[in-house]
Chains A and B, each alone.
Chain A
């Protein structure tokens, strides 16, 4: 970790041609404590970052969270397994489907049940739609953090299509309770697949447009390139996952490296930055990973639509157990959320229909822990850029 600490304001400011830092040292100025949040437009929720600044240069950043703490884990101990699912939705409210999927897989592993093949396809389709929607929010709000307002609304316009599709599917726009233990809550409505295929076709050029408007903008690159460089070994040591880890050049995607569901049958690439536009590990790399993952998700959805078995008399509840009472045991199941690895450590005592202990390993929580390391020595504007590139959802950080 010593390498990242070396990355000091002195070196960076002299690169940009300013010796402001050194001059202020000579004048023996005082440090200023600046509270960023809990009400602040750039913290993406109720996060409070305590910044100790020297002028505009951040000397130390300490995140404080818990403003949204609902103690999900305590709730889960008081609820039947199937009733926990809606609570998992509310952790990472931007990628509810993926979080549900992780929890459901944990329970299914405990029960040791097989899920019908068609259900797996349905789960992957909704999970990938959700991944696109979540990355859209991440990219859009990142643009907003940097000061580009227009891409935000363009992206939100397209996200609406996904939300409409998912609403049509299960009646809810954000918190679905769609993936059940052993099945899903509703079968695909007639023509749903065609509509998804239409969306894939519609959305591909829109991603290009979004890239041209935001990612290829010179100012945007100027603001994010080389900011908050996270070396790969530090990223692993800090437990970062998802786009955070891939942005540092580690080809690690649970869909490939610890395959679940039907991902082994599907063709897609794990996106890592090539270092041409960005410096590997910087904020721009993380942003680029998200952008290109949208293309991969579109690819996955298209393949699922083509391969999905048709069954006119399909009952999505066929394999749903009437009473979920797993044998005593413990499991750590995880999946690749848009924000990284979301895992559920569930202990079943074999006596009841409620989990004995249910711990959620939240991707954002772990990713956020690297913020003090990244923010040190950068300007306040850069802290905003770094925080945006980490892409936190406070619902998941605080649980």
Chain B
């Protein structure tokens, strides 16, 4: 905190329009007790969990299938229920019914724990996602730092899956994946730092609040500095790689490694890995919109008497905006996936270390200078 606080003058955060981020819903939950049992404290993590399940079901799987179908001139799921809406439910039912197979040569503890750790890594970051001005699982003062670091746990889970499967293809996938996730964390973190520097805080809520104002979208961090948009793009590319999404899906690489580190998985374990992928997609999208696109702030401006910004602000509106922004980037990720071919391992590393990281560093320095002397 300290060095960053030195970089960013206090006056900057003070100029931001104060918004009533009291996290009042969370506080209400925390104090909720039924017969002396603190139910509310369990309800807080349950809300993002339920949200992930619903989102993965409908935006993730169903949405992805419909988006890809649209791009590929197909219809997509259309038989189960109206417009195929029940298709993913049927898929989940199928996955639940499946026998829980552990290959005989697999390292059982690693094989079983791997998917759990991957999912936990992705899900734990939801604790610091500000879903609204009134709802955030834990308003840590180092929220962004926490999110970046907890996601790295995924790499451990992936390595456990790949090694535990005792399959050469899985091992290849796991090694590739870990190398990729670890490498791409560097440009991603530097890009995040740019956003953090502009807001002057590592707390998610504070970052969002620093971007609110009457002019809506014009207060977003991405328009506050001439290089912020580059940082945003770098973070988006790195996020694709961290989620193992195409064109960086070399850890799964269908046509090369069969399915990469989860080749041997089936049933609910597979569903868990799948869910984690979608969860981290949304998570990175939200972090992106928090840092650069104003989080739960409404993009609409107040124009004279037409106070669009005021009308579309508030806790419920906030949840609407941030989820909308998250979904937007999730859809962009799908769009990218269904358009581009896949990188090769060395090209991937080249892009990370020789293109993204130097650019991110330059931008970081430029943004710091801009914050100190211009803004």
- Whether the complex brings A and B within 8 Å at their CB atoms is answered yes
Q: Which of A18, A149, A219, A381 contacts B253 (CB 8 A)?
A: A381
- The 10 tightest CB contacts between A and B, nearest first, are A147-B342, A153-B72, A148-B341, A146-B341, A147-B341, A42-B255, A381-B344, A219-B341, A145-B255, A220-B341
Is A219 a contact of B340 with CB atoms below 8 Å? yes
Residues A131-153 near B (CB distance < 8 A)? 143-150, 153
Is B256 a contact of A219 with CB atoms below 8 Å? no
Query: Per-position contact with A for B338-350: 1 when CB-CB < 8 Å, else 0?
Result: 1111111111011
Is A17 a contact of B249 with CB atoms below 8 Å? no
Give chain B residues whose Cβ lies under 8 Å from the Cβ of A13: 346
Nearest B residue to A42 via CB reads: B255
Is A381 a contact of B340 with CB atoms below 8 Å? no
| Alpha-carbon distance A150/B344, docked complex (angstroms) | 19
Is A379 a contact of B255 with CB atoms below 8 Å? no
Is A379 a contact of B344 with CB atoms below 8 Å? yes
| Alpha-carbon distance A380/B172, docked complex (angstroms) | 10
Known contacts A153-B73, A381-B253, A219 near B168 by CB under 8 Å: no
Give chain B residues whose Cβ lies under 8 Å from the Cβ of A6: none
Is B344 a contact of A223 with CB atoms below 8 Å? yes
Query: Per-position contact with B for A1-24: 1 when CB-CB < 8 Å, else 0?
Result: 000000000000100111010000
Nearest A residue to B339 via CB reads: A150
| Alpha-carbon distance A223/B253, docked complex (angstroms) | 14
Is B168 a contact of A144 with CB atoms below 8 Å? no
Known contacts A16-B350, A147-B247, A153-B73, A40 near B258 by CB under 8 Å: yes
Give chain A residues whose Cβ lies under 8 Å from the Cβ of B72: 149-150, 153-154
Give chain A residues whose Cβ lies under 8 Å from the Cβ of B307: none
Indicate whether B92 reaches chain A with its CB closer than 8 angstroms. no
Indicate whether A120 reaches chain B with its CB closer than 8 angstroms. no
Q: Which of A146, A153, A214 contacts B74 (CB 8 A)?
A: A153
Indicate whether A222 reaches chain B with its CB closer than 8 angstroms. yes
Residues B50-90 near A (CB distance < 8 A)? 68, 71-74
Give the distance to chain B from A144, nearest Cβ to Cβ, in Å.
6
Indicate whether A56 reaches chain B with its CB closer than 8 angstroms. yes
Give chain A residues whose Cβ lies under 8 Å from the Cβ of B168: 32, 34
Indicate whether A65 reaches chain B with its CB closer than 8 angstroms. no
Give chain B residues whose Cβ lies under 8 Å from the Cβ of A34: 168-169
Nearest B residue to A221 via CB reads: B341
Indicate whether A217 reaches chain B with its CB closer than 8 angstroms. yes
Indicate whether B246 reaches chain A with its CB closer than 8 angstroms. yes
Give chain A residues whose Cβ lies under 8 Å from the Cβ of B246: 147
Q: What size tier do the contact residues of chain B reach?
A: 20 to 34
Give chain A residues whose Cβ lies under 8 Å from the Cβ of B256: 42, 380-381, 384
Query: Per-position contact with B for A152-171: 1 when CB-CB < 8 Å, else 0?
Result: 01100100000000000000
Give chain A residues whose Cβ lies under 8 Å from the Cβ of B255: 41-42, 144-147, 384
Give the distance to chain A from B289, nearest Cβ to Cβ, in Å.
26
| Alpha-carbon distance A132/B65, docked complex (angstroms) | 29
Is A56 a contact of B172 with CB atoms below 8 Å? yes
Give chain B residues whose Cβ lies under 8 Å from the Cβ of A336: none
Nearest B residue to A384 via CB reads: B256
Query: Per-position contact with B for A368-388: 1 when CB-CB < 8 Å, else 0?
Result: 000000000001111010000
Is B338 a contact of A222 with CB atoms below 8 Å? no
Give chain A residues whose Cβ lies under 8 Å from the Cβ of B338: 149-150
Give the distance to chain A from B149, nearest Cβ to Cβ, in Å.
28
Q: A17-B354, A380-B256 are in contact. List 20 more A-B contacts (CB 8 A).
A: A34-B168, A40-B258, A41-B258, A42-B255, A146-B255, A147-B247, A147-B254, A148-B339, A148-B341, A149-B72, A150-B72, A153-B72, A153-B73, A153-B74, A219-B343, A222-B347, A223-B347, A379-B345, A381-B256, A381-B342
Is B345 a contact of A217 with CB atoms below 8 Å? no
Nearest A residue to B344 via CB reads: A381
List 9 contacting pairs A-B, 8 Å CB cutoff, sorted by A. Answer: A17-B354, A143-B341, A145-B255, A147-B247, A147-B254, A149-B68, A150-B68, A223-B343, A382-B344
| Alpha-carbon distance A145/B68, docked complex (angstroms) | 18
Give chain A residues whose Cβ lies under 8 Å from the Cβ of B71: 150
Known contacts A40-B258, A220-B341, A147 near B346 by CB under 8 Å: no
Give the distance to chain B from A115, nearest Cβ to Cβ, in Å.
40
Indicate whether B209 reaches chain A with its CB closer than 8 angstroms. no
Indicate whether B250 reaches chain A with its CB closer than 8 angstroms. yes
Known contacts A153-B73, A380-B172, A380-B256, A18 near B346 by CB under 8 Å: yes
Nearest B residue to A39 via CB reads: B258
Is A223 a contact of B342 with CB atoms below 8 Å? yes
Give the distance to chain A from B105, nearest Cβ to Cβ, in Å.
15
Residues A193-251 near B (CB distance < 8 A)? 213-214, 217, 219-220, 222-223
Give chain A residues whose Cβ lies under 8 Å from the Cβ of B346: 13, 16-18, 20, 379
Give chain B residues whose Cβ lies under 8 Å from the Cβ of A381: 250, 253, 256, 342, 344-345
Residues B131-181 near A (CB distance < 8 A)? 168-169, 172
Q: Which of B68, B249, B349 contacts A147 (CB 8 A)?
A: B249
Is B341 a contact of A56 with CB atoms below 8 Å? no
Give the distance to chain B from A28, nearest Cβ to Cβ, in Å.
19
Give the distance to chain B from A79, nearest Cβ to Cβ, in Å.
38
